[in-house]
Structure 1
Amino acid sequence: MTKLSVNINKIATLRNSRGGNNPDLVKMALDAENFGTDGITVHPRPDERHIRYQDVYDLKPVLTTELNIEGNSREQKFVDLVLDIKPHQVTLVPDATGQLTSDHGWNTIQHKDYLKDIIRVFKTAGIRVSIFVDPDTRMVEGAAAVETDRIELYTEAYARNFTANREAAIAPYVKAAEKARELGLGLNAGHDLDLNNLNYFSQQIPWLDEVSIGHALICDALYLGFENTIQLYKRQLIMRSGL
């Protein structure tokens, strides 16, 4: 079954807006685990505008599910953090410094040498590596060539086009996912997946290993409650046509 990893960046954003420790990020992460999530995702950035580096140190010893750390591996502070923490998974994203949110995948052909070297650094430390890629079979082939363990399909385009034409929106993702499976790569997905589009995505790509969802899930929790929202998202991942 596809795993759900809850990205808690937005909880950290709310906490940071007033200072102090309300909401308590660690407690919220532990609550998410108790409510059924399969993992916790954090994406620390250099300005620490949401997740702080200390948050990651606070979370690691208390979490009982998988910890996924996303970030820009060209920042040495990020590399040092990951090697020190040794999470279950590191997800490499090609963010620019100061970027608001991730908005594209790696060009795995252009950056082949760099990616191969940095992936080796993390894998040597025993950390599973996933890299952010767009739904392009050439980029998936490039990802296999740099010896990553998994790819994470960047799903913003799918989410943007889902309402107008869901069949057209999913088509490049199915092709990319099939190529990943053919090449023996694990498969994650994330960005703008929500209660409206997640089930269809998981139906069309049932071999998906994991989705990482933060913004939409936290927004839904304001209306539906945190525990209920996590269960609703998990339900989208197990519902299949005809069941």
Structure 2
Amino acid sequence: MYFLEIKIEHKDFLGRIRHWDNLKVAFETDTVWIRDFSSEQINSAEIHQIPYKIVYEAKENLLFEKGKLLPSKKLPSGLLWSPILRALPVSLPKFNHNYFGIDQRLKMNLKSSENVKPAFAMLVSFEELKLYIESAPKYRLEPLKWVVIDKRILLFGFPLLPVKGSTFWMNHDFLLPTGYDFEWFSLTGTFQEKLNPSKENLILWNEDNSYSVIPKETIKPLSISSFRLTFS
């Protein structure tokens, strides 16, 4: 049997699993406990995206943190279990995503994602683009825009050019490597508010979790003449 433990001040995040009416909930001082997960539920994206949680597997009344071999604690005794629909009211207090206390910080890490989105941008070298653009037909370049970043060229638009490069997809004003998403993807809007409140920039995210800020006003239409003028 699986159990989920979360501090009561973070119970707002449980709203995303409230519709799983097979679950039971119990309260212990400042902690919320949830049980009766199926194996599919406990390994789902909904559970993965709940921050501040701890997931346990129960064996002989001992709780083993998921993925660990040694027990962490005993299951508290005397818990009163109620159906999740009854224990969690429909209107939960709104959690302030913009506030993170000293012990409530979330790192903006990327992780591999099976939900691959269409590429919206491509980062290529100057040499690679030059080989193609010098003989490219005008209509092939017209749908695209570009900007120089870190001695490389970032292309935007559809369809992208048939050249070698790293591709990115768009989420809010973040450009994320294709095949990746934020570990806490449900908080992407919050990350946007923290890093780009004016929405005047695009933020290019790298697989090593570094990023570059690109002012939108620096992005221009792609053409042979603009390319030559920039690098003349």
Structure 2 length as normaliser, TM-score?
A: 0.22
Structure 1 length as normaliser, TM-score?
A: 0.21
- Structure with greater strand percent: 2
